[in-house]
Amino acid sequence: MAPRRPFNKPNQQIVDFLRDNCPFEWCAEGGHKLCTPATLDGVDEYAVRITSQHDGRDGLSFVGKVYHNGVAVMSVSNSGDGGPNYYEALKGQSFEVYRQNHADYKAVAQRAFGEGYEREDLLTEWLMDVDNLRIVRR
C-alpha cells in the first residue's frame, strides 16, 4: 500500500535544485558526484519514505521503505552509528523476491552514481532528500 502523501517524482528540476543547494564544500569540489545522480534512468521509478528517524551517535538513525513504481519492495534502516544502510525483505515477502528487488535497486544506483561501495546508500539518501522536498502540486 502506497503512503497517503504522494511521492515527489525525481526530475531534472529536482536534480538541479538539490545540487545547487548542496551544503558540502567537499562535495562541490568533487563535482557533486556523490549528491547528484548522473542519470535519472530508472531512478525516477523509485522513492524512499522514512517512517521514523532521530539523531544517532554518528549520523541519522531511521527506518523506512523503498518503493518501486509506488509499491513497497523492501525496508531500509540505519542505526545512526556511522555504518551503511541495512536493507531487508518486507514482512511476508520471500527472500528470492527481496534479493531480486535489491539487485535491481543496486543496478539503478550504480548507473546513477557509478561503480563503488554503498552506491545504493547514495541513492537512498538522495531519494530521502527528494521525498522531503515540499513541492506545490497544481
Fill in the amino acid letter for 12: Q
b/e code 69-94 from CB counts within 10 Å (16+ = b): eeebbbbbbbbbeeeebebebeeeee
Pairwise CA distance, residues 19 & 129, whole Å: 11
Range of the domain at 104: 12-132
Mean pLDDT in residue range 49-67: 89
User: Is residue 86 included in any domain, yes or no?
Assistant: yes
Judge whether 3 lies within some domain.
Answer: no
Q: Band the pLDDT of 33: cuts 50, 70, 90.
A: confident
Query: Strand 46-56 to strand 86-88: parallel, antiparallel, or no bridges (unpaired)?
Result: unpaired
The average confidence (pLDDT) of the chain is 87
pLDDT of residue 103: 97
pLDDT, residue 138, reads 39
Could you tell me the pLDDT band of residue 105, with boundaries at 50, 70 and 90? very high
Q: What are 59-92's pLDDT values in tens digits? A: 788 999 999 999 999 999 999 888 889 999 999 9
CA distance 93 to 88: 10
Instruction: Give domain status of residue 40, yes or no.
Output: yes
Answer yes or no: is 110 within a domain.
yes
d(CA 3, CA 72): 9
How far is residue 23 CA from its own chain's centroid?
18
In the chain, the amino acid numbered 95 is: F
Percent of the chain surpassing pLDDT 90? 47
Query: Is 6 part of a structural domain of the chain?
Result: no
Q: In total, how many domains does the chain have? A: 1
Residue 138 lies in a domain: no
Q: pLDDT confidence of 117, banded at 50, 70, 90?
A: confident
Residue 5 lies in a domain: no
d(CA 91, CA 93): 6
Q: Answer yes or no: is 1 within a domain.
A: no
- The pTM (predicted TM-score) of the whole model is 0.86
